[in-house]
Structure 1
Amino acid sequence: MGRIREWRGHVRGPRGHAYGWRDRVRTWGGGVRGEGDQVPDAALAGGIALLLVVATLVGPEQGGPHGPGPVEYALLLAGTLPLAVRRRLPVVVALVTAVCMTAYSVRTGVGPPTAFPVLVAVHTAVLTGHRAAAVAASVVFLSGDLVAGLSSGTGSGGLPQQSTGLLVGWFVAAGVMGVVSRHRRDDLRRAEERAAEAERTREETARRRADEERLRIARELHDSLTHSISVIKVQAGVAVHLARKRGEEVSAPLLAIQEAGGEAMRELRATLEVLRDDEPPVSGLDRLTELVERSRATGLPATVVVDGERRPLSVDVDRTAYRIIQEALTNAARHAGPAAASVRITYGPKELTVQIDDDGRADPGAVPTPGVGLSGMRERVTALGGRLRAGPRSEGGFSVRAELPVDGSA
């Protein structure tokens, strides 16, 4: 049943989205921030500030009424450093940068480099959908540059109208780049959404087909096995009843057949409930005594030894340990010949160890051929992250040892 549960869940994709598109969060400033944007933006703000400081110190005088002083440097920093948060607060950054850099340009006459932080802020405002703020910032800076140029007679490198016209072209280019980048980002987001929706549709289709297949298998098992097992159980019960009615002693093999038939019916019902997505009664180590009694009834003497302090186990570990013991005892009854078996369960700090040994006729030098039973054991143990060793013992007989993590989950 553990394998069936594992098979039921295999159609789920490893991720909830097709390409793991990073979610972004809008903040009160109207911007969009990603996890990796803060460091590059801070580096950009520092680089522009440093560039303007160098331009102020080494550049030729442009006719500004003031040289670089504390007020001018304060305006420079106030107009550049806010770019570090331009994606979070694009409107605020655009207006603050435009006002500060306009005042800085008018007071120092540095020229075109003062437009760089404003261009970056305008581009970010357009990219985040705040075109009105971008236009306002552009108008403030261009108007200040034009007024400063007319009052000084030079402007930002030549005639005031020419320099302002050149800056207008720069600002238009920054706005166009912002629009193009915004459209490209929206197209990418829509493509990611379509891919995620397509993946969800594929997963739902696969899950629906898996559910249909499970129901088909459940119907086939019910129609083919339930009737046959019921006949075996009823016939064994009738034979036991007739023997007791005649005063005869009921043979142990006949009682074992009757008990095995009842157990097979219970196991089949539990399997069908799993296939139909119902929660079945769990077969775990609490039923180990019944399992050992049935093994003894079939002619295989079995003993159980428990080491360590018993404690609750997860459903998957409990069920897997029970199934391994069940399969090992069944194999011993079928293949070991006249033999006895011992079951040892050890509760460790982090592992549950289950070991089943028999003293049957297994050849120590023979290589065991993995059948369905051994393969099923190995799959169950591997699904829990455990280890399984199965093979002949040097002193004769066969041994199965499984080490299961106590917190394992299939």
Structure 2
Amino acid sequence: MGKISPFRLDVLLAVTVVAVQLIDLLLADGPVPAFGPVLAVASGGVMLLRSAYPRTTLLLSLVGALAYGAIGTPSIIQALPILLGVYTVIDAGHWKLVLAVVLPVLMLSIVGDLIAETRPLREILQTAFLPAGWFVAAAFLGQVSRQRRAYVREVEERAAEAERTREEMALRRAGEERLRIARDLHDSLTHSISVIKVQAGVAVHLARKRGEEPPAALAAIQEASTVATRELRETLDVLRGPGESSQGLAGLPALVERASAAGVPASLATEGAEQAVPAEVGQAAYRIVQEALTNVARHAGPATARVRLAFGEGELAVRITDDGRAQAPASKPGVGLIGMRERVAALGGTLRAAPADDGAGFDVHAVLPLGAK
């Protein structure tokens, strides 16, 4: 069950107070005062204002009780609205109002009884201090409720602060982990790529020194190692802190040229009116094409690749097809396709990577929303 709203609770309380006061009037000895039921309904209806206007509730309840005392014999039941008003005002933190209004009224009531009554003083005081005890009890309960709410609020604030602290610790640990990964990648990959680049450069130099034309494969290796070093550096920068890689759609022509130089003839075509592409979409498109061309070089055998960009309404379609083997040879599976799917899913797009419908070659088709955040 959900928590009852304050207004519904006030409605329930008002109905209860009205019912109790009417029953008390019916069960009282003697005739019912002419305006007794009206005052009972009015003083009970004041409870509807309890949550929104606690001080007004107390003052109106007090006026109703005084009016009832003027037309009939008051009882503790008829003082119930005042008791609830005292509780509400103390709970809201307005205890000075109780001292300023209710206490003088009690004192005047006691003095009036002393002047008008012919009973012994002891009986008068006992009769007068009984309602006073109810008022004290109502004020005490109001103070207890106020302290309980303050304690609950403090506990909630502490819990929220603890949650913020946990989030900060998690972010700090994630940052430390990124730095560790960056250091590991730098130590393990940068050296190896640099060695490949140097060796390829030496081979090219020696070939030219002998008057020979360096093989195209060596030039491609040298260029690819240079690009790999730059991209690794960008990746490490992203791991070390917030940043964006410079690779995007603008880097696709050079990527296709490097693939062709490395032995995979590739072409690039664009369809539709070019649109502004968010950086993350351009980066994802570049990585998808890069991974697809790498897979062609690894698994398709002698093949030609075709890269096509199609700008549609609010989306960019990236398609890479080849005419090589449709299935990769049996080997240890890589994570290239998994990485593609994760990139596309993160942007809210779709990806299809499967053998072509005619069975000749492989088809990678990604659709990326241009409104991705």
In the superposition, the TM-score normalised over structure 1's length comes to: 0.76
Aligned 8 A contact 1:55 1:113 in 2: no
Q: CA deviation at 1:321?
A: 1.7
Counterpart for residue 285 of structure 2: 321
Tell me how large the CA RMSD over aligned residues is.
3.5
Residue of structure 2 in register with 1:31 after alignment? none
Name the residue aligned to 1:68: 35
TM-aligned CA distance change 1:284 to 1:138, over 3 Å: same
Q: Is 1:345 aligned to residue 312 of structure 2?
A: no
Alignment of 1:300-379 (within 5 A): 300-363=264-327, 371-379=334-342
283-292 vs 80-89, which moves further = 80-89
Q: CA deviation at 1:259?
A: 1.2
Q: Provide the rounded CA distance (Å) in 1 between the counterparts of 2:50 and 2:331.
A: 69
| Change over 3 Å in CA distance of 1:290–1:61 after alignment to 2 | farther
1:39 and 2:7 correspond:
yes
* Residue 214 (1) aligns with residue 182 (2): no
C-alpha contact 2:235 2:245 (8 A) present in aligned 1: no
Q: Percent identity?
A: 47
Q: TM-score, normalised by structure 2?
A: 0.82
Distance 1:185 1:307, change over 3 A: same
**More divergent stretch after superposition (97-106 vs 285-294):** 97-106
Shift of residue 336, structure 1, vs aligned partner: 0.3
Query: Equivalents in 1 of 2:34, 2:330: separation in Å?
Result: 93
Runs of at least 5 residues in structure 1 that lack an aligned partner in the other structure = 1-34
Contact 2:54/2:89 (CA < 8 Å) preserved in 1?
yes
Match of 1:125 in 2: 89
Instruction: Identify if the C-alpha distance between structure 1 residues 252 and 132 changes in structure 2 by more than 3 Å, giving closer, same or farther.
Output: same
Q: Shift of residue 258 of structure 1?
A: 1.3
Aligned-partner residue type, residue 212 of structure 2: E
Residue 338 of structure 1 deviates from its aligned partner by 0.8
In structure 1, C-alpha distance between the alignment counterparts of 2:125 and 2:353, rounded to whole Å: 91
**Residue number among 166, 189, 200 corresponding to 1:236 in the alignment:** 200
Superposition map of 1:190-339 within 5 A: 190-244=154-208, 246-339=210-303
Do 1:105 and 1:111's aligned partners in 2 also have CA atoms closer than 8 Å?
A: no
Q: Residue 75 of structure 1 contacts residue 104 of structure 1 at CA under 8 Å; is this kept in 2? A: no
What residue is the counterpart of 1:13 in the other structure? none
Which residue does 1:385 correspond to in 2?
Answer: 348
Deviations 1:365-395 (A, max 9, x none): x999863111111222222232222222232
Q: Matches of 1:117 and 1:351 in 2, distance apart?
A: 66
Which has the higher Rg, Structure 1 or Structure 2? 2
Note the alpha carbon deviations across 1:31-88, whole angstroms, 9 max, x for none: xxxx985523552575267448846985658789x7329xx958974x5555444344
| Maintained 8 Å contact 1:38/1:84 | no
- Which residues in structure 2 correspond to 1:139-154 (within 5 Å)? 139-140=103-104, 142-143=106-107, 146=110
Quick one: distance in 1 between partners of 2:349 and 2:330? 22
Aligned CA distance change for structure 1 residues 148 and 51 (closer, same or farther; 3 Å): farther
Maintained 8 Å contact 1:80/1:97: no
Matched positions, count: 365
Tell me the alpha carbon deviations over residues 111-143 of structure 1, each in whole angstroms, 9 at most, x when there is no partner: 333322222221122222222223444325545
**Cα separation, partners in 2 of 1:285 and 1:36, compared to 1, 3 Å:** farther
| Closer, same or farther: CA 384–160 of 1 in aligned 2, 3 Å | farther
Match of residue 7 from structure 1: none
Deviation per CA, 1:231-281, whole angstroms, max 9, x where unpaired?
A: 222332343344445553333212211110111011111011112115244
Structure with the larger RCO, 1 or 2 (CA within 8 Å, 6+ apart)? 1
Secondary structure of 1:260's counterpart equals helix
Q: Is the 8 A contact 1:381 1:387 kept in 2?
A: yes
SS at match of 1:311: coil
